[in-house]
């Protein structure tokens, strides 16, 4: 099987691709799409095929998907980008990639999304059947564009084997994401929770989505232990502001996802069930 991975140089992609190559069955190949040839060299050194071009270029997408059996669309525009860019990458480019995949006869498409697409909490862990309720303190162009991409890809004629992985707050392997959270957290209520997932577990979850013959639809990928603001600050060695304990939690179930489906159907078990396990293992 030849698998195309987009977003290979991003925080998730650069950690996912080496694990995908390392764990690929004998004879399987991986192709990556990168904008900068130099940034593709580390993947080429690991054995990946490299296609250079922009995800937003239809001609490049046709070249990238030619002869491919599966696509894993990891590409994303996250925090710190204009809303227009978030929509262009997360929604528009994902749809065009889906169309290119159909035109090239690609049989399997894994769309990497986010648990933030659920929006507001439901007073319980979020399950894949839950619809989107826009709102909440993390709502914005990023989850909205990812949600719109999911809907459009699901409606795309010819894209019959669509698998969607909704990720939590991703950390580990030196990713600065956790350090950034430590900077934001002092403004949060002490008991605000955040569901997390180590890069190793994101990678194994996406690999299960890619390879499982019976996988279909949406799967939540996350660890077993959402953390609180207090946990995040303690991890960063930062004192919890006294006023944090006085703030009410606006949505105690925001972003907290059930992983029952991926555990039951695909055998997913977190390598790092909690951020504390990862801390003990020295892989933050």
> Which pTM value belongs to this model?
0.96
What's the rounded Cα separation, in Å, for the pair 124 and 159? 32
Question: 128-137 — which CB contacts under 8 Å span 24+ positions?
Answer: 128/166, 128/217, 128/218, 128/219, 128/220, 128/261, 136/250, 136/251, 136/254, 137/250, 137/251, 137/254
Q: For residues 74-96, give the mean pLDDT.
A: 92
Quote the domain boundaries for residue 108: 2-168+198-222+258-270
Q: Which residues, 6+ apart, have CB-to-CB distance to 91 below 8 Å?
A: 145, 146, 148, 149, 152
Residue 169 three-state SS: strand
Q: Is residue 228 part of a domain?
A: no
How many angstroms separate the CA atoms of 71 and 69, rounded? Answer: 7
DSSP 104-135: TT--EEEEEEEGGGGBS--SS-B-TT---B--
Q: Give the contacts of 7 (CB within 8 A, at least 6 positions apart).
A: 13, 55, 73, 74, 75, 76, 112
Q: What pLDDT does 175 receive?
A: 95
- The verdict on residue 35 lying in a domain is yes
Total number of domains constituting the chain = 1
Backbone angles phi, psi at 35, to 5 degrees: -85, -25
Lowest mean pLDDT, pick from 44-58, 78-92, 103-117, 153-167:
78-92
Q: Is the pLDDT of residue 79 over 90?
A: no
Task: Give a yes or no: residue 17 inside a domain.
Answer: yes
Q: Is 215 inside a domain boundary?
A: yes
Domain membership of residue 247 (yes or no) is no
CA 236/CA 185 separation, integer angstroms: 10
The answer to whether position 79 is within a domain reads: yes
135-189 tens-digit pLDDT: 877 899 999 999 999 999 999 999 999 999 999 999 999 999 999 999 999 999 9
Domain annotation covers residue 187 = no
Q: What DSSP state is assigned to residue 272?
A: S
Give a yes or no: residue 98 inside a domain. yes
User: Which CATH number do you get for residue 7?
Assistant: 3.40.50.720
């Amino acid at each position: 099987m030849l698998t195309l991975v987009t977003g290979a140089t991003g925080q998730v992609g650069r950690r996912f691709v080496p694990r995908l190559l390392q764990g690929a069955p004998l004879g399987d190949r991986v192709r990556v799409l990168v904008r900068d040839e130099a940034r593709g060299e580390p993947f080429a050194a690991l054995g990946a095929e490299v296609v250079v071009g922009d995800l937003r270029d239809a001609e490049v997408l046709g070249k990238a998907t030619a002869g491919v059996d599966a696509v894993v669309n990891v590409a994303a525009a996250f925090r710190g980008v204009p809303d227009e860019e978030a929509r262009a990458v997360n929604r528009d480019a994902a749809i065009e990639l889906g169309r290119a995949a159909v035109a090239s006869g690609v049989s399997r498409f894994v769309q990497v999304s986010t648990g933030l697409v659920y929006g507001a909490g439901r007073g319980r862990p979020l399950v894949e059947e839950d619809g989107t309720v826009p709102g909440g303190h993390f709502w914005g162009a990023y989850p909205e564009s990812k949600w719109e991409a999911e809907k459009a890809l699901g409606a795309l004629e010819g894209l019959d084997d669509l698998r969607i992985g909704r990720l939590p707050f991703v950390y580990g392997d030196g990713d600065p994401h956790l350090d950034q959270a430590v900077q934001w957290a002092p403004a949060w209520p002490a008991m605000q929770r955040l569901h997390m997932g180590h890069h190793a577990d994101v990678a194994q979850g996406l690999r299960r989505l890619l390879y499982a013959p019976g996988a279909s639809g949406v799967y939540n990928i996350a660890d077993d232990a959402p953390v609180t603001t207090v946990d995040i600050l303690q991890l960063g060695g930062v004192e919890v502001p006294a006023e944090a304990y006085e703030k009410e939690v606006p949505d105690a179930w925001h972003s907290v996802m059930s992983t029952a489906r991926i555990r039951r159907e695909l055998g997913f078990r977190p390598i790092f069930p909690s951020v504390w396990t990862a801390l003990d293992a020295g892989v933050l």
